[in-house]
Amino acid sequence: MRTTRRSTLAALGGTIALSTTAGCLGGSGGGSFPSDCDGTEVETVNSLPRPALGPEDASVTVDVFEDFACGHCATFTNDVYPQIESTYIEPGEIRYRYFDYPIPVDENWSWRAASAARAVQDRTDAETFFSFAKGIYEQQSRLIEDGYQFIREVADDNGVDGCTVATAAKEEAYREVVEADKQTGDDRGVPGTPAVFVDGELLENYAWDTVSAAIDGQLADTN
């Protein structure tokens, strides 16, 4: 994952939920648009590749469904994902795929932040998408406080024009892409977020011990 100056900020804390439902289940919010970004134009996009890291031919696939406004997703991304990345993604052991699943925890920002992240992906690559997502989750409370400005700053940190990404959020330019992911989650029985699947099997929780045990088990079966 690409490191930005925002990565040095303190990550959000949280306790790993151990229930069979993933954690986040619903809520609402707002924000103001930067006046100097007025007039920025973006096109509506209805299809994008899946944001993914790791070899396409990896023997194990991990699918994660998240909502950018979900506190449990912030805990997962800040505390659990780095261990998955260093233990399995960087050595090329797994294919890690991200799916948007706006419950929505926040009626506005669950969707807007997802569109912003896809705007970053569309203009760069999967690595930058994940770096942007990490920046959002690290200071997630700012989505509700000043979402557009926050999105703009994180985009700029990752080398993407902040006004363009903030506009994509405002106009929900990637809504169809996000809705398709949500439908996939519904079809797969996602109970809440984050929902972690290892080779198609939904895990009972997103704790590191649970995730690593499932991955190790699948790796052992394929070797």
Q: What is the pLDDT of residues 162-220, one digit of tens each?
A: 999 999 999 999 999 999 999 999 999 999 999 999 999 999 999 999 999 999 999 99
Task: Give the dihedral sign, CA 170/27/66/71.
Answer: positive
The pLDDT of residue 31 is 66
- The burial class, CB within 10 Å (0-12 / 13-18 / 19+), for 161 is middle
pLDDT reported for residue 123: 98
Q: Which CATH number fits domain 69-222: 3.40.50.300, 3.90.105.10, 3.10.105.10, 3.40.30.10?
A: 3.40.30.10
Q: How far apart are CA 54 and CA 69, in angstroms?
A: 26
Which pLDDT value is given to residue 223? 77
Residue 18 has pLDDT above 60, yes or no: no
- DSSP state, 24? B
pLDDT at 33 over 90: yes
pTM: 0.87
Q: Any idea where the domains of the chain sit in the sequence?
A: 69-222
Give yes or no for residue 10 having a pLDDT over 50. Answer: no
Checking if the pLDDT of 76 tops 90, the result is yes
The residue-averaged pLDDT of 106-122 equals 98
Per-residue confidence (pLDDT) for residue 25, from 0 to 100: 54
For residue 6, what pLDDT is reported?
43
Cα–Cα dist 123/141, whole Å = 26
Between the CA of residue 30 and those of 84, 103, 148, what are the distances in Å?
Answer: 33, 16, 10
**What mean pLDDT is predicted for residues 129-137?**
98
pLDDT of residue 24: 73
Percent of the chain with pLDDT over 70: 87
Give residue for tokens 């400005």.
Answer: 149
Does residue 22 surpass a pLDDT of 80? no
